[in-house]
Chains A and B, each alone.
Chain A
Amino acid sequence: MSTRVESPEQLAQVEPARAPARPGGLGGARALGRFIRRKPLGAIGAVIVIAMLVMAGCAEWIAPYGYDDTIRGARMKPPSAAHWLGTDNLSRDMWSRVVYGARVSITVGFLTIGLAIVAATAIGVSSAYFGGVWDLVVQRVVDAWLSFPYLIIILSVMAVLGPGLLNVVVSLAILIAATNSRVIRSATLAVMQHSYVEAARAMGCGHARIILRHLLPNVTATIIILATIGLGAVTLAESALSFLGFGVPPPHPSWGGMLSGSGRTYMFRAPWMAVWPGVAISLAVFGFNMLGDALRDVLDPRLRGS
């Protein structure tokens, strides 16, 4: 159900060296135009992602009501001009709740991916660079971690930590970090084959310099792709967790949470309660996936078409 990187080995073969052109000035605008022409789906994805960011950032101004405001005399009303997406069983405006829900999704998504990428890079790069016993031990732990079905391991971790936004972030980040560290490790191994790494070593560069100046910049493309695709996976996983009651606790309007509990109890009488949050999740994940796909094609020409 989550977005998967079809083949870690494939992603790992990201061709290093060629730095992507820096956006900025007229060149940036031209590059943007070319991106839209060549990757219309990616552009749609980007628009969805930007719309989500705006909704999350400016929820107070976009949403006509607060996410927990009860509106008198408007219990479970179907969508209308006054309430675009209808109202729920507690007389709250669904559109406002969906808008505020973007804030929860974006917060969880970006925090999780940020944490996961830092951890995955540290594990992946060090595992590849130092090799030996460290690599062996770390990789066996990652192996073990990867053989758990993701929802099962997260449920267990969430049961330990208890519900809450930060706990969702931590448990999802641990999981994503394990998967991504494997890909980053392979990418780093590929980069280390290049003679400039050997040259750096021969010139007497220290470990820190080789890792920071020679390895990291060349796995950046892989990391950016992993992060974008990971955002979709995190959004999906967070919604599933909240749906099962292990995610972001009410009254915070998490899309997954809105689909569980009252969303399910009243789904036959007020189907709009069960429809719109799901549309929001699907659109958000669709946007991240489209953008991630397009970025992969652009940043890594060798993977084009896969």
Chain B
Amino acid sequence: MLRRYVAKRLLIAIPSLLIASLIVFTLPRLIPGDAVQLMLAEKAYAKDLDELRAKLGLDRPMYVQYFEWAGRALRGDLGESLWTRRPVLEEIGQRLPVTLTLAVLALIFALAIAIPVGVISAARHDTLADFIARSAAILGLSVPGFWLATLLIVLPAIWWGWRPVGDFVEFGSDPVRYVRQLLLPAAILGIAASAALMRLTRGMLLEVLRQDYVRTARAKGLAERRVVLKHGLRNAIIPVVTLLGTQLPQIIGGTVVIEYVFGLPGMSRFLFDAINQRDYPVIQGVNLLVVSTVVMVNLGVDALYAVLDPRIRY
């Protein structure tokens, strides 16, 4: 049953991925001015421009370029950067660990805040604690990450002369410092996600705590703690898992700003620079990778959903 469901979802995912790949391919090509113009600057003659375009394969019809690109992408070849002339996959591979560490740490932060606060907020429904938690959650959703990051860089520096941003340390040279330098950016990234997750945890738990079996559990004299955690949370957590899947693109999107503010050499920063430099293969490569990851993660989340909740039959 589950296998059939996953297969069905996979079939739906394929056209989405195809359409996404078309968007990924077409968008950067619509950017006015191309890399060739940027590379040769103002002193170029039209002949030089055409020559370079031919060399880079940019003079052929768009659909020919698309099929060639898509065909090679399927074989794991994303082409080379127009600027550094190095394979895009290799360039991404160098920067991906930073972004991934950031995203995973952010998710851990988000869950570590969201679940306990959500549970307390629901268990102490309509008390001061609940009120504060809910207001804090909306505040967390309202404060822009880049501003929070700026404040956390500026204020400690002014007050105590402490600066969180130093030179970037590679994982290889000092793993502890590598993770430590990513903690603050990840925490900021996790705040918005935690607010959304907390609100859902609270809402779902409240819903579950109204059920008859929870009343039964209370009636048979179980400790409130056990009622909430064992009977309540276990049943409330499922939609939270789903939301986790939808949070992923948000978190990855957030890394663009965070890597920019903290000067981290991650994949999103790479993409940002590539957009400014019209580096098509890089823009396409990063976008394709991100979109496929998101589609696959959502597929996994759907499957997990079915595993977690045996009532769901597809």
Q: Which residues of A contact B (CB under 8 A)?
A: 1-4, 6-7, 41, 140-141, 143-152, 155-157, 159-160, 162, 232, 236, 239-240, 243-244, 256, 259, 263-264, 267-268, 271, 274-275, 277-278, 281-283, 285-286, 289-290, 293, 305-306
- Is B223 in contact with chain A by the CB < 8 A criterion? no
Chain A neighbourhood of B32, CB < 8 A = 160, 162
Contact B290 A152 (CB under 8 A): yes
Contact B196 A6 (CB under 8 A): yes
Contact A244 B256 (CB under 8 A): yes
- From B22-30, B47-55, B63-71, B166-174, give the one contacting chain A: B22-30
Nearest 8 CB-CB pairings of A with B: A306-B203, A149-B253, A278-B147, A151-B253, A285-B142, A144-B19, A144-B20, A286-B142
Within 8 A of A (CB), among B179-209: 192, 196, 199-200, 202-204, 206-207
- Chain B's closest residue to A233 (CB) is B141
- Is B271 in contact with chain A by the CB < 8 A criterion? yes
- Is B222 in contact with chain A by the CB < 8 A criterion? no
Contact B151 A278 (CB under 8 A): yes
- Is B216 in contact with chain A by the CB < 8 A criterion? no
Contact B203 A1 (CB under 8 A): no
- Is B154 in contact with chain A by the CB < 8 A criterion? yes
What is the bound-complex CA distance between A4 and B199, given in angstroms?
10
Chain B neighbourhood of A278, CB < 8 A = 143-144, 147-148, 150-151
Chain B neighbourhood of A274, CB < 8 A = 147, 150-151, 154
Chain A neighbourhood of B252, CB < 8 A = 149, 152
- Contact of A141 with B19 at beta-carbon distance under 8 Å, contacts A147-B291, A160-B27 already known: yes
Contact A156 B19 (CB under 8 A): no
- Contact of A1 with B298 at beta-carbon distance under 8 Å, contacts A267-B150, A278-B147 already known: no
Chain A neighbourhood of B141, CB < 8 A = 2-4, 232, 285, 289
CB proximity of A252 to chain B, nearest CB, Å: 18
Chain B neighbourhood of A244, CB < 8 A = 256-257, 260, 272
CB proximity of B139 to chain A, nearest CB, Å: 6
Q: 1/0 per position for B134-176, CB-CB distance to A under 8 A?
A: 1100110111111110110111011000000000000000000
- Contact of A147 with B144 at beta-carbon distance under 8 Å, contacts A4-B246, A267-B150 already known: no
Contact B16 A157 (CB under 8 A): no
- Chain B's closest residue to A303 (CB) is B203
Contact A160 B31 (CB under 8 A): yes
- Is B243 in contact with chain A by the CB < 8 A criterion? yes
Among A41, A148, A236, find the residue whose CB has the most chain B CB atoms closer than 10 A.
A148
Chain A neighbourhood of B246, CB < 8 A = 4
Q: 1/0 per position for B239-262, CB-CB distance to A under 8 A?
A: 100110010011011101100100
- Is B283 in contact with chain A by the CB < 8 A criterion? yes
- Is B100 in contact with chain A by the CB < 8 A criterion? no
Contact A147 B143 (CB under 8 A): no
- Contact of A149 with B146 at beta-carbon distance under 8 Å, contacts A144-B20, A244-B257, A285-B141 already known: no
- Is B217 in contact with chain A by the CB < 8 A criterion? no
- Contact of A240 with B142 at beta-carbon distance under 8 Å, contacts A144-B20, A281-B147 already known: no
- Contact of A282 with B147 at beta-carbon distance under 8 Å, contacts A6-B203, A7-B200, A306-B203 already known: yes
CB proximity of A161 to chain B, nearest CB, Å: 9
Among B142, B200, B268, B294, find the residue whose CB has the most chain A CB atoms closer than 10 A.
B142
Q: Specify which of B125, B202, B239, B298 is in contact with A7 (CB 8 Å cutoff).
A: B239
Q: Which residues of B contact A (CB under 8 A)?
A: 12, 15-17, 19-20, 23, 27-28, 30-32, 125, 134-135, 138-139, 141-148, 150-151, 153-155, 157-158, 192, 196, 199-200, 202-204, 206-207, 239, 242-243, 246, 249-250, 252-254, 256-257, 260, 268, 271-272, 275-276, 283, 286-287, 290-291, 294-295, 298
Contact A41 B253 (CB under 8 A): no
- Chain A's closest residue to B29 (CB) is A160
Q: Specify which of B144, B242, B275, B276 is in contact with A256 (CB 8 Å cutoff).
A: B144
Q: Specify which of A144, A267, A289, A293 is in contact with B16 (CB 8 Å cutoff).
A: A144
Among A1, A145, A159, A293, find the residue whose CB has the most chain B CB atoms closer than 10 A.
A1
What is the bound-complex CA distance between A248 and B147, given in angstroms?
17
Q: Specify which of A147, A152, A162, A243 is in contact with B295 (CB 8 Å cutoff).
A: A147
- Chain A's closest residue to B134 (CB) is A41
What is the bound-complex CA distance between A283 and B17, given in angstroms?
38
Contact A243 B257 (CB under 8 A): yes
CB proximity of A153 to chain B, nearest CB, Å: 8
Chain A neighbourhood of B272, CB < 8 A = 155, 244
- Contact of A148 with B16 at beta-carbon distance under 8 Å, contacts A244-B256, A286-B138 already known: no
What is the bound-complex CA distance between A162 and B260, given in angstroms?
20
Contact A156 B287 (CB under 8 A): yes
Contact B250 A289 (CB under 8 A): no
Contact B257 A151 (CB under 8 A): yes
Contact B256 A151 (CB under 8 A): yes
- Chain A's closest residue to B147 (CB) is A278
Chain A neighbourhood of B30, CB < 8 A = 160
Chain B neighbourhood of A148, CB < 8 A = 20, 23, 249, 287, 290-291, 294
What is the bound-complex CA distance between A155 and B151, given in angstroms?
24
Contact A149 B294 (CB under 8 A): yes
What is the bound-complex CA distance between A264 and B165, given in angstroms?
14
Contact A1 B254 (CB under 8 A): yes
Extra pairs beyond A149-B249, A278-B148 (13, CB < 8 Å): A1-B144, A1-B192, A6-B203, A140-B16, A150-B253, A152-B268, A160-B31, A243-B146, A244-B257, A271-B155, A289-B138, A305-B125, A306-B202
